[in-house]
């Protein structure tokens, strides 16, 4: 019996079947669990050990104008069937009350997913549509979209098991294991494992636009696709002007090379709020970036479940910029061309109602 088989044997049959359905990587899980158990995976391991400096103005591409060469190139690629759109619809929606955010009404009678799909639907059947669902979102999402006229492909996000700080599988008060979805860095392996994506790629698909389901300003824009093509890099990450308190990653110079670094990786004395732009988590990537073994780092995330401390391990999509040639596109934030309007909590949704109505009504 292998180590991974012996690990699965400690779970009940129902749990094993559930884990296998959602691409549980038992080998990686056991490696990380062992490191945590031995005290080797501390919180300090998340910190970036490198020289970190703010990005320079020349590190960021300017926003292309309407009618520009970028817009022309992007529209040509869409018309040729070379562009796909991935909507990140997985995760756990913990900050939104644990509900499946994609099926929640963003505007009266229209869910987040309805509005995202309406945007991509402007291009008819020219654009392949892929939803990355987790075990927590798959069922409700499929039921919500069962009569949708667009051809939507489902990609399955992987699953893992929360641990106690000592490295033991954590069980809730009812005795059940505490499952979780290990971060949007899963998009690479999820698409690589998706047969529909492989067909899209084989049939001439070249570029993938990725955005969060809760960012309704992140539309499929020919100018963004064209800027990526003209930039000639494998990845183009959209960045927007930073407001005080914005969370998430930002492009910085790491030992002289620009990459997106998440805020929790900066040293305590680094002023994240002083950075001029941050990552919107909208990215355009060449299809070759989506492989079953992306060169991403596992990070430790400390959480609470039922008032008790737990540890989970996650990978983040933006870190791909540390490993492949990447460009950074300065996008607008406010107004009808703004491309960042994230909704992380019900309070955010209430606050954005007027802006959403202007965009979609």
pLDDT of residue 2: 46
Cα 111 from Cα 214, distance rounded (Å): 10
Query: Could you give the CA distance from residue 345 to residue 194 in angstroms, rounded to a whole number?
Result: 30
Q: Could you tell me the two tokens for 191?
A: 């698409």
* Mean pLDDT, residues 53-62: 95
Q: How many CB atoms lie within 10 A of CB 356?
A: 18
Q: Say which range, 91-105, 113-127, 242-256, 277-291, has the weakest mean pLDDT.
A: 91-105
CATH topology of domain 51-360: Spore Coat Polysaccharide Biosynthesis Protein SpsA; Chain A (3.90.550)
Single pTM value for the model: 0.94
First-to-last alpha carbon distance for the chain, in angstroms, is: 60
Helices marked H in the chain: 3-9, 13-21, 26-37, 69-79, 112-120, 138-144, 187-192, 195-202, 222-231, 346-351, 353-360
Report how far residue 19's alpha carbon sits from residue 81's, in angstroms, rounded to the nearest whole number: 35
* d(C-alpha 196, C-alpha 45), whole Å: 37
The kind and range of the H/E element at 310 are strand 308-314
> What values do phi and psi take at 254, rounded to 5?
-110, 110
What pLDDT was estimated at residue 255? 96
What are the residue boundaries of the structural domains of the chain, listed by start?
A: 51-360
pLDDT cut 90: percent of the chain above it: 83
Task: Provide the CA 15 distance to its chain's centre, in angstroms.
Answer: 26
So what's the pLDDT on residue 256? 95
Q: What per-residue confidence (pLDDT) applies to 1?
A: 38
């Amino acid at each position: 019996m292998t180590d991974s088989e012996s690990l699965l044997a400690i779970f009940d049959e129902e749990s094993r079947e559930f884990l296998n359905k959602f691409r549980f990587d038992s080998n990686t899980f056991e490696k990380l669990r062992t490191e945590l158990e031995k005290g080797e995976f501390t919180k300090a391991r998340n910190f970036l050990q490198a020289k970190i400096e703010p990005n320079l103005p020349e590190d960021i591409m300017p926003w292309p104008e309407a009618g520009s060469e970028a817009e022309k190139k992007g529209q040509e690629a869409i018309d040729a069937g070379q562009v796909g759109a991935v909507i990140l619809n997985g995760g756990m929606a913990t900050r939104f009350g644990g509900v499946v955010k994609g099926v929640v009404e963003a505007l009266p009678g229209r869910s987040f997913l309805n509005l995202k799909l309406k945007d991509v639907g402007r291009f008819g059947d020219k654009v392949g549509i892929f939803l990355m669902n987790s075990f927590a979102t798959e069922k409700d999402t499929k039921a919500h979209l069962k009569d949708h006229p667009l051809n939507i492909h489902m990609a399955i996000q992987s699953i893992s098991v929360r641990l106690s700080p000592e490295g033991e599988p954590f069980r809730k008060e009812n005795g059940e294991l505490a499952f979780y979805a290990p971060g949007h860095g899963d998009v690479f392996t999820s698409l690589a494992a998706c047969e529909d994506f492989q067909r899209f790629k084989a049939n001439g698909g070249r570029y993938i636009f990725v955005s969060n389901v809760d960012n309704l300003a992140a539309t499929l824009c020919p100018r963004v696709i064209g800027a990526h093509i003209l930039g000639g890099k494998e990845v183009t990450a959209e960045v927007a002007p930073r407001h005080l308190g914005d969370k998430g990653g930002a492009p910085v110079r790491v030992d002289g090379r620009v990459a997106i670094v998440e805020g929790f990786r900066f040293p305590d004395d680094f002023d994240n709020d002083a950075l001029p732009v941050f990552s919107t988590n909208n990215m355009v990537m060449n299809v070759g970036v989506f492989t079953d073994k992306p060169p991403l780092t596992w990070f430790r995330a400390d959480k609470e479940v039922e008032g008790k401390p737990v540890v989970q391990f996650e990978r983040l999509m933006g870190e791909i910029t540390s490993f492949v040639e990447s460009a950074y596109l300065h996008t607008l934030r406010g107004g009808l061309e703004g491309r960042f309007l994230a909704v992380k909590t019900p309070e955010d949704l209430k606050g954005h109602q007027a802006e959403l109505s202007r965009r979609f009504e």
